Amino acid sequence: MEGGEFVQTTEGQTRLLVPRLSLTAKVPPKTPAFFNPSAKLNRDLSILAYRTFLPRLKEKTFADAFTGVGARALRVAVEVPDMEQVYGNDVNPTAVEMAKKAAALNSVSDKCHFCIDEVCKFLLRGTEAGERFGIVDLDPFGTPARHIDCVLRAVLDDGLISITATDTAVLCGIYPEVCLRRYYGRPLNNSYGNETAMRLLTSLIALTSSRLELAIKPVFAHSTMHYLRVYATVSVSSSEANNVYNNIGYIMHCFQCGHRTAVQEFDSSKKCELCHSKLKIGGQLWTGALHDREFIAKMSEGAERQHKKILDAAIEEIGVPYYFRADEISSRLKTNPYSVQKIIEKLRACGYMASRTPLNTGAFKTDARIDQILQVLK
């Protein structure tokens, strides 16, 4: 390895050793190791989530299955000081070497354990004592689908998992057949496709859990153009696993008039109740809550402004499994766009529930139907 290829950078309160090129290149290179500076927000939020969850952990151990140069693992070791042991794994020996060196730079070598192994082997081996991990993070290139079983088998009862998907084109409906085989559900390539995507990802995690007699409860989810990320608690309970289908359903979308509804049962013969066009079906997918208000409120305490913005939208969000974009409404009304805040105020004034959503800053959620929204804003 060339000595000059890696440079020191600081993210949060943690020193990292990263490929020089990754700090300047538009798309960070995969060799000699991968580091994505633009995932800082993602890692910042995860620090807030893990700090919040820490008091609930029976064993204060953290596993980072695709650790790369150790960015997330090292930040947890440094910035979640009460985390007792941190485990990181990557198949790239150069990346792991840098992670170990950076652990020394941060004086956290004692509690950091980095290894080079296949992801599932690493996860199933567990801690040095052979125990499961308190928190397991999975942040792969592309789809997490093939590793979900191992993540669930590697986490303690009442532990936390955080899973990222970067196959957003698949989950948002560009490749529906790939989505169906990876996530057992159909995507919707429409104006709220990233929420459907989040719910497809969560549904796969929930259904896999139920097969293993586990139950999940999502506590926080957020997304950007490039990734979707969900945090969920996992508990051993066959009785709760039996109830998984209470939170699994479908979203019916009318591409003609923009009407959308969530339903429990699949019915391909159903026509749009507003315009009688054929409906497009998204799912099966998770229709339950993605956010635990109390948990996110704790995350938000002392958070920086840019993080607070996302967290506060999640706290406020009402329990409707799809959103409406403000520009979508104005184009139907053929008017200048209303601000999201204005739309929410008008809907509330007419007695509807309405809120922002962390999944799209230009969108809102409401229990009003599209015809009712258009009526209110006309």
For position 105 contacting Zn ion by CB under 5 A, the verdict is no
CB of 307 to Zn ion, least distance (A): 38
For position 41 contacting Zn ion by CB under 5 A, the verdict is no
Judged by CB, which is closer to Zn ion: 260, or 356? Answer: 260
Alpha-carbon distance of 24 to 119, in angstroms, equals 29
Contact with Zn ion (CB under 5 A) among 76, 197, 272, 359: 272
Q: Nearest Cα to 340, choosing from 358, 319, 311, 362?
A: 362
For position 262 contacting Zn ion by CB under 5 A, the verdict is no
For position 260 contacting Zn ion by CB under 5 A, the verdict is no
For position 8 contacting Zn ion by CB under 5 A, the verdict is no
CB of 374 to Zn ion, least distance (A): 12
CA distances from 172 to 177, 222, 228, 279 (A): 12, 14, 10, 17
For position 374 contacting Zn ion by CB under 5 A, the verdict is no
Contact with Zn ion (CB under 5 A) among 259, 298, 325, 356: 259
Judged by CB, which is closer to Zn ion: 163, or 272? Answer: 272
Check: CB of residue 114 under 8 Å from CB of residue 70. Answer: yes
Query: 11 by DSSP, 3-state: which?
Result: strand
Q: How many residues bind Zn ion (CB under 5 A)?
A: 8
CB of 328 to Zn ion, least distance (A): 14
Q: Which stretch binds Zn ion (CB under 5 A): 70-78, 172-180, 267-275, 334-342?
A: 267-275
Beta strands 280-286 and 248-253 are antiparallel
Q: List, as one string, the DSSP characters of 211-255.
A: HTTEEEEEEEEEE-SS-EEEEEEEEE-HHHHHTGGGGEEEEEE-T
The answer for residues whose C-beta is within 8 angstroms of residue 328's C-beta and 6 or more apart is 191, 258
DSSP symbol at 338: P
Site string for Zn ion, 216-255 (x = CB under 5 A): --------------------------------------x-
For position 274 contacting Zn ion by CB under 5 A, the verdict is yes
CB of 257 to Zn ion, least distance (A): 3
Phi, psi (deg, nearest 5) at residue 192: -125, 30
Judged by CB, which is closer to Zn ion: 8, or 256? Answer: 256
DSSP symbol at 350: T
For position 354 contacting Zn ion by CB under 5 A, the verdict is no
For position 370 contacting Zn ion by CB under 5 A, the verdict is no
Judged by CB, which is closer to Zn ion: 254, or 368? Answer: 254
Judged by CB, which is closer to Zn ion: 253, or 291? Answer: 253
DSSP symbol at 55: G
Contact with Zn ion (CB under 5 A) among 275, 319, 341, 349: 275
CB of 367 to Zn ion, least distance (A): 18
Alpha helices by DSSP H, the chain: 40-53, 71-79, 93-105, 119-125, 148-154, 168-171, 176-183, 193-211, 238-242, 293-300, 305-316, 326-333, 340-349, 370-377
CB of 40 to Zn ion, least distance (A): 41
The answer for residues whose C-beta is within 8 angstroms of residue 271's C-beta and 6 or more apart is 277, 278, 279
For position 256 contacting Zn ion by CB under 5 A, the verdict is yes
- The amino acid present at 264, given as its one-letter code, is Q
Contact with Zn ion (CB under 5 A) among 257, 289, 297, 374: 257
For position 271 contacting Zn ion by CB under 5 A, the verdict is no
> Rule CB under 5 A: which residues touch Zn ion?
254, 256-257, 259, 272, 274-275, 277
